[in-house]
Amino acid sequence: MKQFIYADNAATTKLDKVAFEAMLPWLTEEYGNASQPYSFARNPKKALSKARETIAACINAQPEEIFFTSGGTESDNWAIKGCALLNLDKKATITSAIEHHAVLLACSSIERMGYPVAHVNPDRTGIVSAETLERIITDDTNLVSIMLANNEIGSIEPIEELAAVAHSHGALFHTDAVQAVGHIPIDVHKLGVDMLSASAHKFNGPKGIGFLYIKKGAKIGALIDGGAQEKGIRAGTENVAAIVGMATALEQNCKDLDENQMHIETLESKVLDGLSGLDFIRNGSQRHLPGNVSLSFRHASGEAILHRLDLNGICISTGAACDSVNTQVSHVIRAIGVPDEYALGTIRISLGKDNTEEEIEHIIDALKNCVNRT
Ligand code: PLP
């Protein structure tokens, strides 16, 4: 019988059963619009408050600093375009060369409207240093947006130091923490960020829901106009079921964080041990997301590996999920300077809490078979 092994948890994760069950009443009996004044809206309204409190507690924020969005893409777009909306002097935005396209293309969009944008380069391991940022930042910088952890190679950026540099020049600091929330400890105060993006489907919550943390006092314009939801800066009837699912999944992941991390790191070592002897480069920094294993095989095709593993019932990725139709080397692999003879042979295995040791053995066997054949 053909097995099914899911090892693409950076693309999306399985919805937790507890989150699914917590969502059900809000999809069936409790369907009231949380913005209405009558008593049938009281429970949905309470559920939203509770979800906001739960999420805030998981990242050491205040509930009123959590704003619900439709996911990571919207949160990133909102942070960047929302800051531009209030940036009447058209001061500069700085981002990194290895951001997700939600950030990179939002920056291109404001650039076309006349806002200057500069890109800071990472080192060979995908780390953007405070010194590199210091070299290009000026007192005319309005916003710095650098991701907390990279989706393709897992590198965890020195956000505390980067945010301190931004603030010393009077700029706001946003971080795309979509890959990190629910997987590593997050404390917005320790990080010193003004805004932080997250997406529920990356931490075993439902798809199409996320949040943007906006620090009290940080000013950001509305991206979506309409009703008065989310303090009037993010309009649209709240998806109560999805919001409750997101909060439940995040709470569960944060409760199990150490245990999950240990399990995933054991599996990660097993993958690397099992592949030793093959000619590949492991991409990313020493400090990286648990289970994010980016490998570049010499003179191989990442795409061919992906399809051969797929025939064996194994899901992995060649890089970012959004890039899977694109056979070019990804912008991240280019930016960190993976040598040409390895770059096209890049794959990303991203392990999650549900993966097992037995699955890792299958992945290793299948990978050894196809790398020998590419
Ligand atoms: N930012 C990062 C780092 C991501 O990995 C992703 C999704 O892959 C996004 C943003 C977009 O998030 P969403 O799928 O919730 O729109």
- The CATH number linked to 130 is 3.40.640.10
Q: How many domains does the chain have?
A: 2
**What is the Cα–Cα distance from 5 to 154, expressed in whole angstroms?**
21
**What is the Cα–Cα distance from 350 to 46, expressed in whole angstroms?**
36
Share the mean pLDDT of the chain.
95
Whether 122 and 98 have beta carbons less than 8 Å apart is answered as yes
Residue that finishes a domain, picked among 255, 276, 303: 255
Give the mean pLDDT of 68-85. Answer: 98
User: Which amino acid type is present at position 255?
Assistant: K
Ligand 1 pocket member 285 (CB < 6 A): no
Q: Are residues 367 and 246 in the same domain?
A: no
Least confident of 92-101, 112-121, 233-242, 365-374: 365-374
Of the residues 58, 83, 107, 322, which is catalytic?
322
Residue that finishes a domain, picked among 201, 233, 255: 255
Q: Are residues 62 and 170 in the same domain?
A: yes
pLDDT reported for residue 293: 98
Ligand 1 pocket member 154 (CB < 6 A): no
User: How many Cβ atoms from other residues are within 10 Å of residue 115's Cβ?
Assistant: 21
Give the helix/strand (H/E) hosting 357. Answer: helix 357-373
Ligand 1 pocket member 100 (CB < 6 A): yes
**What is the Cα–Cα distance from 243 to 209, expressed in whole angstroms?**
7
**What is the Cα–Cα distance from 110 to 303, expressed in whole angstroms?**
33
DSSP structural state of residue 232: G
Q: What is the torsional sign of CA 94, 100, 106, 112?
A: positive
Give the mean pLDDT of 367-373. Answer: 84
Ligand 1 pocket member 157 (CB < 6 A): no
User: Which amino acid type is present at position 169?
Assistant: H
> Could you give the residue ranges of the DSSP H alpha helices within 113-256?
130-136, 159-168, 188-191, 240-255
Name the nearest CA neighbour of 157 among 213, 196, 204, 108. Answer: 196
- Give the residue, 189 or 326, on which the prediction is more confident: 189
**What is the Cα–Cα distance from 290 to 312, expressed in whole angstroms?**
24
Residue 325 has pLDDT above 70, yes or no: no
pLDDT reported for residue 322: 46
For 259-289, what is each residue's pLDDT tens digit? 999 999 999 999 999 999 999 999 999 999 9
For 288-314, what is each residue's pLDDT tens digit? 999 999 999 999 999 999 999 999 999
Q: Are residues 122 and 264 in the same domain?
A: no
**pLDDT above 90 as % of the chain:** 95
- Give 218's pLDDT tier (boundaries 50, 70, 90): very high
Domain with 319 in it: 5-14+257-373
Q: Are residues 45 and 188 in the same domain?
A: yes
Give the helix/strand (H/E) hosting 315. Answer: strand 314-315
Q: Which long-range contacts (CB under 8 A, 24 or more apart) does 1-5 make?
A: 2/312, 2/313, 3/312, 3/313, 3/314, 3/359, 3/362, 4/313, 4/315, 5/313, 5/314, 5/315, 5/355, 5/359, 5/362, 5/363
pLDDT reported for residue 1: 47
pLDDT reported for residue 2: 61
Site to substitute for ligand 1 among 15, 96, 103, 199, most atoms within 8 A of C-beta: 199
Residue that finishes a domain, picked among 207, 226, 255: 255
Compute, in angstroms, the gap from residue 21 CA to the centroid of ligand 1.
25
Q: Are residues 240 and 338 in the same domain?
A: no
Q: For 217-228, b where at least 16 C-beta lie within 10 A, e where not — what string?
A: ebebebbbeeee
- The CATH number linked to 351 is 3.90.1150.10
Compute, in angstroms, the gap from residue 171 CA to the centroid of ligand 1.
24
Q: Are residues 197 and 234 in the same domain?
A: yes
Residue 373 has pLDDT above 90, yes or no: no
DSSP structural state of residue 122: P
Ligand 1 pocket member 348 (CB < 6 A): no
322 has catalytic annotation: yes
Q: Are residues 249 and 267 in the same domain?
A: no
Residue 326 has pLDDT above 60, yes or no: no
Q: Are residues 97 and 213 in the same domain?
A: yes
Q: Are residues 268 and 364 in the same domain?
A: yes
Residue 54 has pLDDT above 90, yes or no: yes
Ligand 1 pocket member 102 (CB < 6 A): yes
Q: Are residues 39 and 76 in the same domain?
A: yes
Residue 324 has pLDDT above 80, yes or no: no
Compute, in angstroms, the gap from residue 247 CA to the centroid of ligand 1.
18
Q: Are residues 338 and 284 in the same domain?
A: yes
Q: Are residues 165 and 193 in the same domain?
A: yes
Residue 345, classified by CB atoms within 10 Å of its CB into exposed (0-12), middle (13-18) or buried (19+), is buried
